[in-house]
Amino acid sequence: MEVDEHVRASLIKTHGNLYRGVELTRYPIPPFPLPDGRGRALLDVGCNWGRWTIAAARAGWRPTGIDLAKKSVVAARRVAGQLGVEAEYVVADARELPFEDGSFDTVFSYSVLQHLAKEDLPRVVSEVGRVLRPGGLVWIEMPNARGLLNLVRQARRGFSAGSGQDVRYWTLAELRELFGAIGPVSISADGFLTINPQAASACRTATEYPYSSLLNPGSQLAREDAGRTSCILQVGAGFQSGSGRGD
């Protein structure tokens, strides 16, 4: 199967530096990190060409992917059509989601919100909480400011706040406070040598990268609690965290 050119061009952006020089022979779609969706609605924020949206569909979710870039949404629709995957894609801004209140059982975002200015994140969190159904789940990946690799990266830019598409680094305390607006927060590791490790999606001829994501099973199961909203926030190069809205 011929891999879409947009996917090839976006590989480092979507998968990280560990994939530099990789020659794609298939679509690098990782296993979805949540249990079977059983047909429930999921929003993938910052979907790009749709790798996580497709992964969610294959895991039994009814996904909608959004991205601010029209070319990414167009590419996502092409790839989904090529793979025979049912998914909706919409050009949209996470700061102003074009969906009604309580539209989704789960909101998911991997390695995306870190590129937004910190002052924009409370608005995003508010929007995510608005479109989430009672008892729903939010699963977000963010970079840990105290991870060793991330400290090196911050030092290289003089520990500046960052601008444009630069990564903004968050301490665990900041993340707990931010996502605590949705509910109680739990944290666990995603990766220690990179922000974006996905062993299953590497396409080397002879070897694959020996990295994996770690999830907090208790956080995932929290979404099953009646009347409780969970938010799992995955933090790369260090931790994964999550939160749940109290009763």
The CATH number that applies at residue 54 is 3.40.50.150
User: pLDDT at position 229, please?
Assistant: 55
Q: Are 88 and 99 in contact (CB under 8 A)?
A: no
> What is the total count of domains within the chain?
1
In the chain, what percentage of residues exceed pLDDT 90? 51
- The answer, yes or no, to whether residue 52 has pLDDT greater than 70, is yes
* Percent of the chain's residues with pLDDT above 70: 77
Q: How confident is the model at residue 58 (pLDDT cuts 50, 70, 90)?
A: very high
Tokens standing for residue 63: 């996904």
pLDDT band at 223; cut points 50, 70, 90: very low
Which residues make Cβ contacts (< 8 Å) with residue 235, sequence separation at least 6? 141, 142, 143, 144, 170, 172, 175, 187, 189, 190, 241
Q: Residue 113: give the domain boundaries.
A: 5-245
Q: How far apart are CA 130 and CA 124, in angstroms?
A: 10
Burial degree of 224 (CB within 10 A; 0-12, 13-18, 19+): exposed
Q: What is the pLDDT of residues 7-50, one digit of tens each?
A: 999 988 888 777 778 888 899 898 998 999 999 999 999 999 99
Could you tell me the two tokens for 127? 């929007």
Nearest to 196 by CA among 144, 138, 136: 144
Residue pLDDT, tens place only, 174-203: 998 999 898 777 777 776 665 555 555 444
